[in-house]
Amino acid sequence: MKKEQRLYTPGPTQIPPRILRAISRPLIHHRSDEFKDLFHEVRERLKYPFQTQNEILILTSSGTGAMEAAISNLFSPGERVLVIEGGKFGRRWTGISQAFGLEVVKFPVNLGEVADPEAVDRAVAQDGKIRGILTTLCETSTGTVEDIQGLGRVLRGSAILFIVDAVSGLAVDELRPDDWGVDVVVSASQKGLMLPPGLAFLSLSPRAWERVEKSSSPRYYWDLREYREFGERKLTPYTPAISLLFGLKEVLALIEEEGIEGVWARHRRLAQATRKGMEALGLELFPQRPSNGLTVVRIPSGLDGEKLLGTLRTDFGVLLAHGQEELKGRIFRLAHMGWVAEGDILRVIGALELALRKLGLQVAVGEGTGAAMDLLMGVNR
């Protein structure tokens, strides 16, 4: 029997069957009253997992598209932004900003570490010309969660726009944009929101909207003024990914049922259990400030990461992610993001124990799952 495979990858994530059923509904037309009702409803209800009172704009694209929309709508060529670069997705902000002719001041962070808000504050003050700060909620390349609340605190009162890529991390790690002073949140469908990839999201504060009016950067598909204007009529300017909107409505019901604090708490508990499990197996965690969406582990010296993940995939049906770019071969990434429960954690830790043994490591089978269960179920062994 071919093994059913479960995704423990940091996007796309495993999709609940209920969502898969919803996206296979026959289409409705994107100018019909039925569509208008659906679209208006999901936009209103999305404010809850986004924890914002700002309108949510829905784009048909990958998350990177919404990042480009943020840059091209908020800044003009020659304007200066500070990018917190702690990994691949921080660097993506730099790439997009430079493509649109912005002046980028890099704030480099060692891989696996986060930016110290006070140090960012000093860098911004010293520079004096920064118009926006671009960062990442969950940097999935290192498994790190930035201190968004701390950054918001030091930026409060300044005219600098605070823009957070929460493609990874939304509905996973705690994020309260309105309370924390985040102006723009970017996200996408295929991570905490448990949908297939294809939708991206943006929310903008009122002062971010003022910038949109002033930007001279070229944009058409990404012109957020069009999305706002059509949105007021419960429409999209271009034909949207209707099937995914069917799924989004179901996702919102799942999140509302659990409550967003409940969603965050579940991820926190599962992440803690996973980390305990890894430590019990003698594995070393990579990030200093780990996201609750994934656990990133250093590959022990002498172990072939390709072989480890290959064994996990073919022998145990669990798909983990490799390190990317300079972290290739140095780490593996185990995501517990979105549709994840206790049993999924035990399954993957158990598989990891067996795979490590199979590859010749002296692992006490049961130690990792036991430690995770201790935390999850409060069992004293």
Residues that bind a copy of itself (CB under 8 A): 5, 7, 9, 11-12, 14-15, 20-21, 23-32, 60-65, 67-68, 72, 77, 95-96, 99-101, 188, 190, 196-198, 217-221, 223, 237-244, 319, 321
The least CB distance from residue 195 to a copy of itself, in Å, is 9
Task: Choose between 198 and 370: whose C-beta lies nearer to a copy of itself.
Answer: 198
Task: Choose between 51 and 168: whose C-beta lies nearer to a copy of itself.
Answer: 168
The least CB distance from residue 77 to a copy of itself, in Å, is 8
Q: Three-class SS of residue 236?
A: coil
The least CB distance from residue 236 to a copy of itself, in Å, is 8
Task: Choose between 30 and 47: whose C-beta lies nearer to a copy of itself.
Answer: 30
Q: Within 13 Å, how many C-alpha atoms sit on residue 220's CB side?
A: 1
Task: Choose between 99 and 119: whose C-beta lies nearer to a copy of itself.
Answer: 99
The least CB distance from residue 217 to a copy of itself, in Å, is 7
Task: Choose between 10 and 290: whose C-beta lies nearer to a copy of itself.
Answer: 10
What is the spatial distance between Cα 251 and Cα 107, in angstroms, rounded to a whole number?
A: 36
Residue 203's DSSP bridge partners are 56, 185
DSSP state of 157: T
Q: Which two tokens stand for residue 372?
A: 């995770």
What is the spatial distance between Cα 296 and Cα 334, in angstroms, rounded to a whole number?
A: 6
The least CB distance from residue 161 to a copy of itself, in Å, is 19
Q: Are 263 and 251 in contact (CB under 8 A)?
A: no
Task: Choose between 100 and 180: whose C-beta lies nearer to a copy of itself.
Answer: 100
What is the spatial distance between Cα 70 and Cα 54, in angstroms, rounded to a whole number?
A: 15
Task: Choose between 14 and 203: whose C-beta lies nearer to a copy of itself.
Answer: 14
The least CB distance from residue 145 to a copy of itself, in Å, is 20
Task: Choose between 77 and 259: whose C-beta lies nearer to a copy of itself.
Answer: 77
Q: Are 100 and 77 in contact (CB under 8 A)?
A: yes
The least CB distance from residue 244 to a copy of itself, in Å, is 7
What is the spatial distance between Cα 201 and Cα 176, in angstroms, rounded to a whole number?
A: 16
The least CB distance from residue 17 to a copy of itself, in Å, is 8
* Residues 117, 146, 114: CA angle, nearest 5 degrees: 65
Q: Which residues contact 172 (CB under 8 A, 6 or more apart)?
A: 138, 191, 192, 263, 264, 267, 291, 292, 293, 337, 338
Question: Which stretches within the chain are classed as H helix?
Answer: 17-23, 33-50, 63-74, 88-99, 117-127, 148-155, 177-180, 206-214, 224-232, 242-258, 260-280, 305-316, 342-358, 367-377
